[in-house]
C-alpha cells in the first residue's frame, strides 16, 4: 500500500497567512548543553501549515473543532487536477465526478508555491459560487493546496458558505506528488478543545 504525505512540513520560514503568527521552532533544552534531553519550543498559530478550519473560525458561535467527527476526516477522497485554472468556479467543478463523493481535494498550481519564499498572494482560490455548488453537490470536506481556500483579501463569504453548511475546510495541503484519482484520506488534527482550527497531519493511501 502506497502512502503519500500531503502535509506541508512545519519549519521556520514556512509561509503563514498575513497577520497570523509566524512559525518559530527553537531549542529549549539541548543534550550538548548538559540538559537531560533535547526539547524544542514551537510557536505558531492554529492555522499554520496544513490545518483544518472548524465552523467557529468564521461563524460567531460556530461549532468548535471538537464537533467535527473523526469519521469525516478519514475515508474515500477524490483528488481533482485543476491546474491551469486561475479561480475555481462552477464551470470547473461541473466537470468533476462529484456524485456520491463526500471529500474533495483540489490540486491546483498552488502546490508549486510551497517552494517559493514568503507568502504568495496570487494563489488559486475557490469562488463563492463554487462553494455553493460544492454544498449542493453534497461535499462535506474540501481541501486545497495553499493557506486559504478563499482569495487573498476576500470577505470571508467563501468560508462562511462552506462552514455554515457543515463543510469542513482542509487548507495548506501539498499535492505536488499526487495524481488525480480516488484515495483514502487520513487527516488528524491536534486535539485542541474548543479550537476553531488546528494543524493536521494528512496522508493519502492508495
Alpha-carbon distance of 141 to 169, in angstroms, equals 6
H/E element, 136 = helix 128-137
Q: Which CATH class is domain 3-9+46-205?
A: alpha beta
Task: Reduce the DSSP state of residue 56 to 3 states and report it.
Answer: helix
Q: How far is CA 82 from CA 8, 11, 87, 88, 108, in A?
A: 19, 27, 9, 8, 5
H/E element, 25 = strand 24-29
Alpha-carbon distance of 23 to 131, in angstroms, equals 29
Catalytic option among 47, 51, 57, 159 = 57
The confidence score (pLDDT) of residue 187 equals 97
What are the pLDDT digits (tens) for 81-116?
A: 999 999 999 999 999 999 999 999 999 999 999 999
pTM metric for this prediction = 0.96
- Length of the chain, in residues: 206
What are the pLDDT digits (tens) for 114-171?
A: 999 999 999 999 999 999 999 999 999 999 999 999 999 999 999 999 999 999 999 9
In this structure, what is the dihedral angle of CA atoms 172, 178, 182, 184, given to the nearest 10 degrees? -60
* Active site (annotated) includes residue 159: no
The confidence score (pLDDT) of residue 159 equals 98
Question: How many angstroms separate the first and last alpha carbons of the chain?
Answer: 6
Q: What residue ranges do the domains of the chain occupy? A: 3-9+46-205
Amino acid at each position: 500500500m502506497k502512502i503519500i504525505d500531503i502535509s506541508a512540513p512545519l519549519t521556520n520560514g514556512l509561509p503563514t497567512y498575513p497577520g497570523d503568527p509566524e512559525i518559530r521552532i527553537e531549542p529549549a533544552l539541548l543534550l550538548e548543553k548538559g540538559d537531560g534531553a533535547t526539547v524544542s519550543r514551537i510557536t505558531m498559530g492554529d492555522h499554520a501549515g496544513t490545518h483544518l478550519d472548524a465552523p467557529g473560525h468564521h461563524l460567531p458561535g460556530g461549532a468548535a473543532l471538537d464537533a467535527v467527527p473523526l469519521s469525516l476526516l478519514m475515508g474515500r477522497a477524490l483528488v481533482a487536477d485543476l491546474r491551469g485554472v486561475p479561480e475555481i468556479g462552477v464551470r470547473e467543478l461541473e466537470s468533476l465526478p462529484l456524485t456520491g463523493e463526500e471529500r474533495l481535494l483540489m490540486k491546483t498550481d498552488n502546490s508549486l508555491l510551497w517552494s517559493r519564499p514568503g507568502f504568495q498572494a496570487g494563489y488559486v482560490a475557490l469562488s463563492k459560487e463554487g462553494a455553493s455548488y460544492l454544498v449542493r453537490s453534497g461535499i462535506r470536506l474540501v481541501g486545497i493546496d495553499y493557506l486559504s481556500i478563499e482569495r487573498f483579501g476576500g470577505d470571508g463569504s467563501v468560508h462562511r458558505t462552506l462552514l455554515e453548511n457543515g463543510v469542513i475546510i482542509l487548507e495548506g495541503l501539498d499535492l505536488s506528488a499526487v495524481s488525480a484519482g480516488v484515495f483514502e484520506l487520513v487527516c488528524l488534527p491536534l486535539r485542541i478543545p474548543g479550537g476553531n482550527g488546528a494543524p493536521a497531519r494528512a496522508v493519502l493511501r492508495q
